[in-house]
Amino acid sequence: MKPSVIKLLAVFCLCFVASCATNNPNYDPTKPHHTPEGFKNLYSEGTGGFGKFLAWQWERLRKTIAQPSADLSPVAPDLQTISAPKTAQVTWIGHASALVQMGGFNILTDPHFSERAAPVQFAGPKRFQAPGLTLAQLPRIDAVVISHNHYDHLDLLSVRALAALPDAPIFYVPLGIDDWFKANVPNAKVFKTDWQEKHVLKKPQGELVMQFLPVQHWSSRTPFDRLATLWGSWALMAGSKAVWFSGDLGYSQDTANIAKQFTQGFDLSLIAVGAYEPRWFMKGQHINPEEAVMIHREIGSRKSVGIHWGTFSLTDEALDQPITDLAAARKAQAVSDNSFVLLRHGQTTGF
């Protein structure tokens, strides 16, 4: 074996051992989702496992992913309405990125404005549609909520740009991601958050309450940090409105627990409806449209907007397949078309 190969294997082994020995600085033995090394789901693994991932990738080599036939191009954003909203509203930027405006607050979810959802911008999943809003078109952002650290949800270039703004927003992140910010975006103002913890942001016109809630998923940005940082969903309350942002999730008891906790339901839910095939691998970590409608009903959402679709091709369904599958799921579960909608990139809807 060549010396260079031996050195490479030695470095890999050292990195692997170091990663296995890493302790969770946020570890609390009284909390069931904490482990000495990181975190875990409450009800199921949710990750699919590395062996199943390899089996999926092998299966994909023999498969052709269908190209979308629907027009998924962005619409011109209504910048006047966005700059001076007269009611609570949400604008879909793309994938899991949305601008929520309510109670005098502007909140961004999982902001992603880059060309690719990847560690580098020359390889990896490429954006099929431009962001519905550019960074320059955003109003002044009060808060950014992050659901987890996967590259399609936590984008380095996007958060750096937001943190560099003269009136930069505050970032609310899961446990462990605060350390990533310290290393990569040290100028950002960050609050780390465990499941069920709340943050309150006050302005003269009122308060924004943000509560981090459990859902079934996982985290990783490298082969060596699996489950090292937390993941979850967010409940956002301002004025008389309540919003739930699902992040990524597999269907589990967690959403029934959210329904019991928030008996008043939600005025708006941003629920993932894409990246769900093949089901044998994705079911534990990504819901499909049928499960999304089930959750819409379960948590008492008065209006839901489907997110996490139509932007990056990450799994085996076509980018526009959620349109058909969500329509079928609404019909099967007797949910009206205007209760659970899909927006175009850049489109705004009130709630």
pLDDT digits (tens, 9 = 90+) for 43-91: 988 777 778 888 888 888 888 888 889 999 999 999 999 999 999 999 9
Tokens standing for residue 83: 């700059």
Which region holds residue 285: left if phi is over 0, alpha if psi is between -120 and 50, else beta? alpha
336 vs 351: CA distance, rounded Å: 15
Tens digits of residue pLDDT in 2-43: 333 333 333 333 333 334 445 899 999 999 999 999 999 999
- The residue ranges of the chain whose pLDDT is under 50 are 1-21
pLDDT at 22: 53
pTM equals 0.92
Whats the size of the chain, residue-wise?
351
Comparing CA positions, the residue from 14, 46, 19 lying closest to residue 228 is: 19
Domain 3-350 has CATH 3.60.15.10: yes
Question: From the CB of residue 30, how many other CB atoms can be counted at a distance below 10 Å?
Answer: 5
Q: How far apart are CA 313 and CA 181, in angstroms?
A: 27
Distance in angstroms (rounded) separating the CA atoms of residues 185 and 208 = 24
**Is-contact 292 251, C-beta < 8 A?**
no
Nearest to 148, CA basis, from 32, 253, 259, 226: 226
